Amino acid sequence: MAKQITVLGTGYVGLVSSVGLADFGNTVTGVDLRQDIVDTLQSGTPTIYEIGLEDYLQRNLEAGRLSFTTDGAGAIADADIIFIAVGTPPGPDGHADLSQVERAARTVGENLNKYKVVVTKSTVPVGTNRRVQEIVAAASGRTPGEGFSVVSNPEFLREGKAVQDFFHPDRVVLGCEDTRAREYMEDVYRALYLIQTPFVWCNLETAELIKYASNAFLATKITFINQMANLAEAAGADIHTIARSMGMDGRISPKFLHPGPGYGGSCFPKDTKAIAATGDEFGVNMSVIKEVIRANDEQKTLTARKLLRLMGGSARDRTVAVLGLAFKAETDDVRESPAIDIVQELLLDGAHVRAFDPEAVENFKTALVGEGPFGGGLNSDLQERVAEAAAQRLTYCTDEFHALQGADALIIVTEWNAFRNLNLERAAALMTGRVIFDARNVLDPENVRARGFEYAGVGR
């Protein structure tokens, strides 16, 4: 039977889940604290860039299965199931900041007028769902398992493929400890059952750790190939042939073996820090993950420094075209994007920067002076210097060719398809210099060199 669902938080995960759950036939109310987000979504316009999202949003709004509101209390009172999909940003010590989750749980408890299932979709450290249980119980006066149930249902969607991933997940993980809640969840995800998606039923702690283990492993795989690429480059080997051959081994798989400027995004950086902090809390030294965090920060630094080296040691008073600002292609998310570190480094070195991204320019403008460098927070002095330099020497361009005008060097930071097919003849005519640093290995080196450019990639 279709359910009445409320989703708290309509960011990447909450919005895609709201739209997807409505498309499964459930009636969904998406709740956000921000009126501007709610108004935009209710008018049928997505607040994030994701392929296919607009169609699904509009279709389900029109069908009357989906609506958005800031009235969390009302939406909770009406619901059978409440998904918590609020943010869990990193706290100053690496631990996940759980204040949004705790606040959402309290609001749920205060508005619990009948049995409901409370589902945590946010990525939360092991033990958090027990804490959600306590908060809801204290705020509602009801007993877990009888008055309400808590389910851990971590989300694995990839930005850029979020809609596709929602409808075709590799697996659905459900930390669920009573049969009534299980029946509710089976109803919610019936459409995925029918297409034989694997379901993993487990306890709350296991579900919580599956999410962190998966993200930490993927971050490790990326960092491993980045370091191997650095070695291949130094030794005169070709990382692409190495990675392809490694991937032919069924135990390894070819995915996540593409070298680049270091991972970024809203998940890997914060989730690796959080699992390392959780390990310390339990007295287990997650030394592999701690080294991954350090090596990834170093990779961002190495990328920026390599560009300066290619430019003869400094980019002072020279012009660099930066193509790609998002942390990866097909998204407008710039959280912890390597582009932030690279542009900061260039500006602090005295360069003029001409930057372009098909979707992420607006988000980048604020992130540039708020984050980094190299994974850390900018201290206020550096923040001021970057902001000042950006005002004088950073131009946001309307397309890749606009960015290339008068550039001494080009760096490709994000693997957007448009950059893979860059018109090199036009680039040569527009650029003053001849340096191309392809930090994603999206161009054909021979082709680039044949046009008279000095080409550098990663690990080849």
Ligand X SMILES: NC(=O)c1ccc[n+]([C@@H]2O[C@H](COP(=O)([O-])OP(=O)(O)OC[C@H]3O[C@@H](n4cnc5c(N)ncnc54)[C@H](O)[C@@H]3O)[C@@H](O)[C@H]2O)c1
What number of CA atoms fall less than 13 Å from residue 139's CA on the CB side?
Answer: 19
Q: Which is nearer to ligand X, 211 or 354 (CB)?
A: 211
Q: Nearest to residue 113, comparing CAs of 138, 151, 141?
A: 141
- Whats the size of the chain, residue-wise? 460
Residue with tokens 């040569």: 428
The answer to whether residues 66 and 100 touch, using CB atoms and an 8 Å cutoff, is: no
Report how far residue 324's alpha carbon sits from residue 296's, in angstroms, rounded to the nearest whole number: 19
Residue with tokens 């759950």: 21
Q: Which stretch binds ligand X (CB under 6 A): 12-20, 336-344, 357-365, 391-399?
A: 12-20
Q: Which stretch binds ligand X (CB under 6 A): 32-40, 61-69, 174-182, 193-201?
A: 32-40
> Could you give the string, one character per residue 222-261, with x where binding to ligand X holds by CB under 6 A and - elsewhere?
----------------------------------------
Is there a catalytic annotation at residue 267?
A: yes
Least Å distance, CB 177 to ligand X, is: 21
185 binds ligand X (CB under 6 A): no
Residue with tokens 């005519």: 429
264 binds ligand X (CB under 6 A): no
34 binds ligand X (CB under 6 A): yes
175 binds ligand X (CB under 6 A): no
Q: Which stretch binds ligand X (CB under 6 A): 6-14, 247-255, 283-291, 346-354?
A: 6-14
Task: Kindly tell me the sign of the dihedral angle through the C-alpha atoms of 255, 261, 262, 266.
Answer: negative
Least Å distance, CB 30 to ligand X, is: 9
Q: Are strands 66-69 and 148-152 parallel, antiparallel or unpaired?
A: unpaired
207 binds ligand X (CB under 6 A): no
Q: Which is nearer to ligand X, 151 or 232 (CB)?
A: 151
135 binds ligand X (CB under 6 A): no
What 3-state class would DSSP assign to 62?
A: helix
Q: Which residue is nearest to ligand X (CB)?
A: 11
Q: Output the six-digit token pair for 426.
A: 């036009």
9 binds ligand X (CB under 6 A): yes
> Which distant-in-sequence residues (6+ apart) come within 8 Å of 457 by Cβ?
437, 438, 439, 441, 443, 445
Residues known to be catalytic: 267
Binding site for ligand X (CB under 6 A): 8-14, 31-34, 37, 72, 85-88, 100, 103-104, 107, 122-123, 155, 157, 159, 266-267
